């Protein structure tokens, strides 16, 4: 992989990519314009005007964890640590991804099924990690929203968007979180 754009992307994101990464290798061999788009898109969303760099990196990392993209997880974790993210915050982020994966499946099912029995049956799922989060309630809800969008839970998206807005997040900040989630989800296909 000698493509300059790819090398810049790998360096900026602290990625470890090898010859087994078929998608990236194909694009690099073709000097495909998508590599430049990918580099620019990742750089732009992580430099959000409405989120701190730390918030942007944690949002991006949550999506990489959710999507099981180990190269992105490793690179984004390094970048997040450089930004001052501590072990307690990282641990909570993993817990948050797990909780949202659980909730998104359950509430997406309830939404799709549209049957009273499922709506009235208690979820009976413990979610203590949602109480007094180390990340702070606003960021916790913002990342919950981003993950709900990635996981396709309409009911969860509506609930978390409402909650994070009530906690003071501006529509621009909310939209930036969703942009981060969408770019990282798409980047994960290749990285």
**Mean pLDDT of successive 10-residue segments in the chain (191 residues)?**
71 74 79 86 94 98 96 94 97 97 96 94 87 94 98 96 98 98 93 80
Where do we find the tokens 């409405």? 50
Give me the pLDDT at residue 33, please: 85
Q: What is the pLDDT of residue 27?
A: 82
CA distance 141 to 121: 24
DSSP string, 44-113: HHHT-SSS-HHHHHHHHHHHHHHTT-HHHHHHHHHHHHHTT--HHHHHHHHHHHHHHHHHHHHHHHHHHH
CA distance 107 to 39: 35
- Could you tell me the two tokens for 109? 């099912």
Q: Quick one: pLDDT at residue 156?
A: 96
pLDDT in tens, 11-56: 788 777 766 677 877 888 787 888 889 889 999 999 999 999 999 9
- At the topology level, CATH places domain 51-190 in AhpD-like (1.20.1290)
> Residue 111's CB: how many other CB atoms inside 10 A?
15
Is the model's pTM score more than 0.85?
A: yes
**In this structure, are residues 156 and 144 in contact, taking their beta carbons and an 8 Å threshold?**
yes
Residues belonging to the active site: 153, 156
Domain boundaries, the chain: 51-190
pLDDT given for residue 1 in this prediction:
42
CA 188/CA 70 separation, integer angstroms? 9
CB atoms inside a 10 Å sphere around CB 30:
11
Residue 98 neighbours by CB under 8 Å, 6+ apart: none
In the structure encoding, which two tokens stand for residue 128, read together?
A: 């203590």
Per-residue b/e over 113-152, b at no fewer than 16 CB within 10 Å? eeeeeeeeeeeeeeeebbeebbbeebbbbbbbbbbbbbbe
């Amino acid at each position: 992989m000698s493509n300059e754009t790819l090398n810049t992307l790998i360096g900026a994101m602290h990625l470890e990519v090898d010859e087994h990464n078929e998608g990236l290798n194909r694009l690099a061999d073709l000097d495909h314009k998508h590599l430049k788009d990918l580099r620019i898109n990742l750089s732009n969303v992580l430099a959000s005007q409405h989120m701190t760099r730390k918030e942007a990196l944690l949002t991006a990392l949550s999506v990489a964890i959710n999507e099981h993209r180990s190269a992105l997880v490793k690179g984004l974790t390094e970048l997040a640590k450089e930004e001052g993210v501590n072990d307690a915050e990282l641990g909570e982020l993993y817990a948050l991804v797990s909780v949202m994966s659980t909730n998104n499946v359950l509430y997406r099912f309830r939404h799709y099924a549209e049957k009273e029995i499922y709506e009235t049956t208690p979820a009976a799922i413990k979610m203590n990690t949602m109480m007094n989060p180390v990340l702070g309630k606003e960021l916790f809800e913002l990342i919950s929203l981003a993950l709900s969008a990635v996981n396709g839970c309409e009911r969860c998206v509506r609930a978390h968007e409402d909650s994070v807005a009530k906690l003071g997040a501006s529509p621009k900040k909310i939209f930036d979180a969703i942009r981060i989630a969408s770019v990282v989800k798409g980047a994960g296909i290749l990285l």
